[in-house]
Amino acid sequence: MPDLRTGMAIKWQGEVYLVLSFQHTHMGRGSATTRAKLKNVLTGQVREVTFRDADEYEEVRIERKPAILSYIVGNEYHFLDNETYEDIAFTAEQLGEDVTAYLKEGDEVTLLYAEDRPLTVELPTFVVLEVVETDPGVRGDTASGGSKPAKLETGKVIQVPLFVKEGDKVKVDTRTGKYIERV
């Protein structure tokens, strides 16, 4: 049984999961356990599982392929595999809100494959998105610069500095959802 790592894919109870996070614990004389947060790659469901030493799972090899988000229809996201030109579709539920909040048509992403099946989409670390709605910043309201909510073109709302206005493009960290800089 391989050690769990964040980002690896495992096959457990007949289904393939991505490991989102894990914590290994060993309590005194008892056996060691590993608590893991797993995402089912078919349903998109996230669950927490406690593995004991006797539990069995196998590592699944992941392939990464470049792709482009071709178009979005309803809650379906269609990607074009850059190598095979195959159209690959995922529902918003399969991808999860943490991914769809940063996707717009024409974006370059990485498709993750396991057992020759597309699993999910890996976002770039930073994306540039346009601010479509925000209140005008009022100087003097705070002692230390301050921030305000801003709605991005994908619908995601983040906190931005007071000087950011509608129409500005901002760089956002997809891992944390935080504003990085105005572009």
**84-106 per-position pLDDT tens digit:** 889 999 998 888 888 899 999 99
> What is the domain extent for residue 44?
9-60
**Residues 79, 32 share a domain:** no
Q: Mean pLDDT, the chain, as a whole number?
A: 86
* pLDDT at 144 exceeding the cut of 70: no
What is the secondary structure of 63-90 as a DSSP string?
A: EEEEEEEEEEETTEEEEEETTT--EEEE
**19-59 per-position pLDDT tens digit:** 888 898 887 777 788 899 998 877 778 899 998 878 888 88
* pLDDT at 63 exceeding the cut of 60: yes
SS3 144: coil
Whether 3 is covered by a domain: the verdict is: no
Whether 93 is covered by a domain: the verdict is: yes
Environment class of residue 7 by beta-carbon count within 10 Å: exposed (0-12), middle (13-18) or buried (19+)? Answer: exposed
**Residues 164, 118 share a domain:** no
- This prediction's pTM: 0.74
Whether 2 is covered by a domain: the verdict is: no
CATH number at residue 15: 2.30.30.30
β partners of residue 34: 24, 51
- Count up the domains in the chain and report the number: 3
Which of 42, 60, 78 terminates a domain? The answer is: 60
CATH number at residue 158: 2.40.50.140
